[in-house]
Amino acid sequence: MTNYLKCFCVAILSDCVLVACSQEAVDWNEVSLAENVFFDSQNEFRSDTIEIPLFANSALEYKLVMGLGQSVSFSWKAVNLEDPDLLLVEFHGHTIRTSDAPGDVMFYKRGRYDSSSGYMVAPFDGIHGWYFSNETNSDISIILEVSGFYEIDGD
């Protein structure tokens, strides 16, 4: 292909791109930012997958430290659990107590089931997490996947 033909093809393609990109301006109505829509976070975004052993007839609490407005997306499932009615789960948050005065606690979800997923925006600074009670005679595991702005309690 000659240089003239190459230049001609480039010119034609450039005109096509310019025509495709030249659209009329679109007007926008700016909507005011509503409360509880955007939060800056001092924590780094992180993701973790944790296998939590839960022995027969035992309970434990898995805790995240979160500030007001920080969010976490989660998914968990019980492994080797034959009857979901024998796993009590409480997803909750509580303030960090600094004296003998009562603290505040909020339950996000309670029940008996073998899996759950969703997201939560912390309503206050504190500890947020899951209480799992294995009421079976067998050891099970909880596979917990979390992503968001949090610290694992004890890190």
List the domains of the chain with CATH numbers: 46-152 (2.60.120.680)
Q: To the nearest whole percent, how much of the chain has pLDDT over 90? A: 74
The pLDDT-based confidence of 20 (bands split at 50, 70, 90) is low
pTM of the predicted model as reported, rounded to 2 decimal places? 0.77
Q: What is the pLDDT of residues 35-69, one digit of tens each?
A: 878 878 778 999 999 999 999 999 999 999 999 99
Other beta carbons less than 10 A from residue 79's beta carbon:
14
